[in-house]
Amino acid sequence: MAVSNCIFCKIAVGEIPTEAVHASEDFLAFRDIVPQAPVHVVVIPRIHRDTIMDVEDPQLFAGLLAFVQETAVKLGVDAEGFRSVINCRANGGQTISHLHVHLLGGRFLNWPPG
C-alpha cells in the first residue's frame, strides 16, 4: 500500500511522473535525480518498506536482487561491473525512507566509500 507522504510511493503509482528504465508488477527502476555516476539508477519495490530492516518476507529480497540483475543487463553495465548499495537509516545516509537499491556504474567506483 502506498504511504501518502512518500516520494518513492508516489513514483511507484505514477503520481509523480518518472521515466522507468525497467519495470515489473512488483519493482521499478528509474534514474536518480542527482546521479553520482554515468549510470545511477534507483531500484524500489512498489510496496512500501521504510528500510532494509523493515522487510519481514525474505522473498522480497530475492525479487529485488533479481530485478537489480535484470536492470544491470538492460543498462549494459553487467559485463564491466557495477555497484549495488542499500543505505539504511541515519548512519547509512538514507534520506528517503522507502527501501531502495542504488545501482551505480559506467565508471570505476572507488572503495571504500566515504
**Hey, which residues between 24 and 83 contact ligand 5GP (CB under 6 A)?**
30-34, 42
What are the beta bridge partners of residue 104?
Answer: 40, 83
Q: Which stretch binds Zn ion (CB under 5 A): 20-28, 42-50, 54-62, 106-114?
A: 42-50
Confirm if 29 and 21 have CB atoms less than 8 A apart.
yes
- Supply the minimum distance, in Å, between the C-beta of residue 62 and ligand 5GP: 21
Size of the site for ligand 5GP (CB under 6 A): 13
Query: Using H for helix, E for strand and C for coil, what is the string for 27-67?
Result: EEEEECCCCCCCEEEEEEECCCCCCHHHCCCCHHHHHHHHH
Q: Which is nearer to Zn ion, 22 or 98 (CB)?
A: 98
- The cell numbers describing 12, all together, are 511507484
Among 61, 94, 106, 109, binds ligand 5GP (CB under 6 A): 94
Give the chain's largest Cα–Cα span: 39
CA proximity to 49, closest of 30, 69, 64: 64
**Is there binding between residue 11 and Zn ion (CB under 5 A)?**
no
Q: Determine, following the binding rule CB under 6 A, whether residue 20 of this chain makes contact with ligand 5GP.
A: no
Q: In the complex, which residues of this chain contact ligand 5GP (CB under 6 A)?
A: 7, 18, 30-34, 42, 87, 93-96
